[in-house]
Structure 1
Amino acid sequence: MIGSLKGNVAYLATDYCIIDTAGGVGYRVFMPAAHLAQLALGASVRVHVHTAVREDAITLYGFLSQEYYDMFQLLLGVSGVGPKLALGVLSAVKPEAFYLAVQSRDMKVLTKLPGIGKKTAERLLLELKDKVGGISGEVGADFTESVAAGGSGAVAEAMEALVSLGYTNSEIMPVLKQISNVETLKGEEILRQALKLFAKR
């Protein structure tokens, strides 16, 4: 199986590029939109590759960072999610935002992703809930899990108020993390500070 490719970008399309290697072989590699946007014709590039083998085709999926490659592998582990769907998700959302949506059980964010309906979103939450916490330590898994489970009554109250104002859980979580001693404050104070932080964005 091909694990990585190093070469020059010979062709750029909307959903794939062709990478010419030193051996003279050009490989067609499907990539997330954000990664393709970073490439330029003739540029030297090294990509992490997932090789998908089917009876009628061998398809390469490439990623400029280990983080995106890891999320792609994680998505493929979910029943009913194939390479094309996983690539579509990675073209629409950054890994940290996706992990946060899963941790905070944010169906609103997940069902907005291409190809993800309610049933698939529920399957993602069910099958990834125990895997995402360890991967995405940087988003504050312990805090997120405690708040997602209800947190203190005041935190839950503030979250409910923010949701009613149109904010999603994945937008709210990072803001709540910025509030000092959030779990000891009253709901009104949490709401006031959160709105203040949102206004600065």
Structure 2
Amino acid sequence: MIASLSGTVQMLRLDSAVVEVGGVGYLLHATPATLATLRVGAQASLSTSLVVREDSMTLFAFADDDERSVFEAAQTVSGVGPRLALAMLAVLTPNALRRALASGDLKALTRVPGIGQKGAQRLVLELGDKLGHPVDDEAAGVSGSAARELAGDQRERVSEALVGLGWSTKVADDAITTVLGDLGVDHVAAADVPSILRSSLKVLGGHRG
């Protein structure tokens, strides 16, 4: 099993990256948040999980070992494959997922594309005990001031993620403004960063600016 990779980022796409290690380019599928931390030409170190099928071998990449562990644990639930497990991490951080499972927050779980009410209930039943207990922000390494900052407007985080994927700051900001206007809100809440990022990507439609 390929548990990690360290190398030079050769290419960035909306849902994947190519990292060259020892002259070999590895295609890595990842969440927008993970991809936003990468830069073409820069060095990167990522935790990975190799999913082997009869006709394919697919590598998924993660910012840290905790995300990879959650990704692999999620696939033990009936009906959850690697793509859906990755979508869960695109919407919820590992700790947010733990909190949703521990509290039975079906609304939070159904925010993940592909998970309905029954699927959310199945996750609570089958996955809750496998991920451990959620930790508070302090235990997760977030200071009190940082936690308060995360509770404010997170527009800049979304903008930085889009810029990291190849768009100019102006194009990114215009897309975010469009999404917020459609939603009738004037700021990005911390919990909504993944969904606002996905919606902004849809507005941009893959066209770099």
**TM-score category, normalised to shorter length:** 0.5 to 0.7
Q: CA shift at 1:96, angstroms? A: 1.0
Is residue 118 of structure 2 the alignment partner of residue 124 of structure 1? no
1: distance between equivalents of 2:70 and 2:136? 15
Secondary structure of 1:49's aligned partner = strand
Gaps of 5+ in 2: 138-190, 192-209
| Aligned-partner SS, 1:121 | helix
Task: Give, in angstroms, the shift of residue 92 of structure 1.
Answer: 1.2
TM-score normalised according to structure 2 size: 0.63
Structure 1: stretches of 5+ with no match in the other structure: 140-170, 172-201
After superposition, the CA RMSD in angstroms is 1.7
Conserved? CA contact 2:102–2:133, under 8 Å: no
TM-score (norm 1): 0.65
Alpha-carbon shift at residue 129 of structure 1 (Å):
2.5
Distance in structure 2 (CA, Å) of the matches to 1:56 and 1:66: 27
Give the whole-Å Cα distance in 1 for the aligned partners of 2:129 and 2:28: 31
Q: Say whether residues 1:136 and 2:137 are aligned partners.
A: no
- Which residue of structure 1 lines up, in the alignment, with residue 106 of structure 2? 107
Aligned AA (2:71): F
The runs of 4+ residues in structure 1 deviating greater than 6 Å are: none
Q: Which amino acid aligns with 1:131?
A: K
Deviations 1:146-173 (A, max 9, x none): xxxxxxxxxxxxxxxxxxxxxxxxx9xx
Report the CA distance between 1:138 and its aligned residue: 4.2
The size of the alignment, in residue pairs, is 139
Query: 2:58 corresponds to which residue?
Result: 59
Q: Which structure has the larger Rg?
A: 1
Task: Look up the match of 1:93.
Answer: 92
Alignment-mate amino acid for residue 43 of structure 2: S
* Residue aligning to 1:45: 44
CA distance in 1, matches of 2:128, 2:2: 30
- Quote the offset at 1:94 in angstroms: 1.0
- Paired with 1:130 and 1:75, the residues of 2 have a C-alpha distance of 11
The residue that corresponds to 2:8 in the other structure is 8
Q: Deviations over 1:43-66 (max 9, x none)?
A: 101111100111111000011211
CA shift at 1:131, angstroms? Answer: 2.3
Q: Percent identity?
A: 43
- Structure number with greater CO (CA < 8 Å, separation at least 6) is 2
Q: Distance in 2 between matches of 1:3 and 1:129?
A: 24
**Shift of the alpha carbon at 1:75?**
0.7
1:18 corresponds to: 18
Looking at secondary structure, tell me which structure has more helix per residue.
1
Amino acid at match of 1:126: L
Per-residue CA deviation, residues 6-56 of structure 1 (Å, 9 max, x unaligned), is 1000000000000001x2100000011100011100110111110011111
